[in-house]
Amino acid sequence: MDQYSSSLVDTSLDLTIGVTRMRVEEDPPTSALVEELKRVSAENKKLSEMLTLMYDNYNVLRKQLMEYVNKSNITERDQSSPPKKRKSPAREDAFSSAVIGGVSESSSTDQDEYLCKKQREETVVKEKVSRVYYKTESSDTTLVVKDGYQWRKYGQKVTRDNPSPRAYFKCACAPSCSVKKKVQRSVEDQSVLVATYEGEHNHPMPSQIDSNNGLNRYISHGGSASTPAAANRRSSLTEPVTTVDLTESKKVTSPTSRIDFPEVQKLLVEQMASSLTKDPNFTAALAAAVTGKLYQQNHTEK
């Protein structure tokens, strides 16, 4: 990063400009009001220019970051031998990843794939592959993740590159749906489940259907659970943690790194909303903000 530290752009925004002058006189004459209006308009224009400048600076920084990462990736490729893996019809070509629960230990190869995704998309014509990370309890040894769909496990295998077994799932929501899912614990962190999705669902998410008709609500949280008893049995199953690491938000919202799995995206939004409404700190902060706003309004009206 040293080569770029010298060319860093100052993105700080001084929002205190003219604030102290914004106090309106007790009984201003009309000309003073017009003058004040002109001044505020000028400040508004100035702020707009600063915003534009900031946006340009952001783009410059982003471009520099991309160049730097690409360079480091190239050197990593040169130094490390290519992975000895056979070609698979649905390899991580159309790679996309979502990091849930602030899991930041995604391997360099993952980031590599992630950053080169755009270039690869041009050449990829095969089915879509997505990867989702689920943070779990370290004591939880199950390989089931709750992603809103029903899955039928059809195999489990211990792979060479990871001592943890890999579980194979097929979508059980619809017979015509050929989406497959592989779940395996991360090599670096055993508490992280890596779910690799192959293909796209040709049906709506069961949890959405359930929430619409109000029946079988347990399915919306139960993955492959099909009965209340089964849901209870799986009560300790893995659930994508709802704590959202805002430092990772770029990864999710950036145009080049968005989650390509619409269902996963929807689920994330639902979980975020759910966690926010359940969070007492958030509701307290929201109440304080609303109260403050109301108080402010009442104060200015007097």
Please report whether residue 62 would count as binding DNA according to CB under 7 A.
no
What Rg value do the Cα atoms of the chain yield, rounded? Answer: 25
Taking phi over 0 as left and psi of -120 to 50 as alpha, with beta for the rest, 88 belongs to: beta
What residues have CB less than 8 Å from 270, skipping those under 6 apart?
Answer: none
Which of 15-23, 81-89, 266-274, 277-285 is the region at the interface with DNA (rule: CB under 7 A)? 81-89
Of the candidates 121, 136, 216, 254, the one whose C-alpha atom is nearest the C-alpha of residue 184 is 136
Can residue 236 be called a binding residue for DNA (CB under 7 A)?
Answer: no
For tokens 């007097």, the residue is: 302
Options 88, 236, 256, 291; binder of DNA; rule CB under 7 A? 88
- Pick from 152, 250, 278, 293 the residue near DNA by CB under 7 A: 152
Query: Is residue 163 a contact point for DNA (CB under 7 A)?
Result: no
Under rule CB under 7 A, residue 172 binds DNA: yes
Beta-bridge partners for 196:
131, 182
Q: Is 101 left (phi over 0), alpha (psi -120 to 50) or beta?
A: left
Kindly state the tokens that stand for 94.
């159309």
137 binds DNA (CB under 7 A): no
State how far Cα 162 lies from the chain centre.
Answer: 26
Q: How far is the CB of 103 from DNA (least distance, A)?
A: 21
Instruction: Verify binding: residue 109, DNA, rule CB under 7 A.
Output: no
Q: How far is the CB of 111 from DNA (least distance, A)?
A: 21
Measuring CA to CA, how many Å separate 165 from each of 47, 99, 149?
56, 21, 22
Contact status, residue 190 vs residue 103, Cβ threshold 8 Å: no
Asked if residue 80 binds DNA (CB under 7 A), the reply is no
From candidates 11, 107, 138, 159, binder to DNA by CB under 7 A:
159
Task: State the chain's maximal CA–CA distance in angstroms.
Answer: 82
CA separation for the pair 234, 230 (Å, rounded): 6
- Is 154 an interacting residue with respect to DNA (CB under 7 A)? yes
> Of 181, 184, 173, which is closest to residue 199 (Cα–Cα)?
181
Please report how close the Cβ of residue 269 comes to DNA at its closest, in angstroms: 26
Q: Mask 202-231, x = binds DNA (CB under 7 A)?
A: ----------------------x-xx-xx-
CB of 97: closest distance to DNA in angstroms? 17
Measured from the CB of residue 132, what is the shortest distance to DNA in angstroms? 16
Residues counted in the chain: 302
Nearer to DNA, 88 or 297 (CB): 88
**CB of 50: closest distance to DNA in angstroms?**
51
Residue 157 lies near DNA (rule: CB under 7 A):
yes
Binding positions for DNA, rule: CB under 7 A: 84-88, 144, 152-157, 159-161, 166-168, 172, 180, 182, 224, 226-227, 229-230, 233
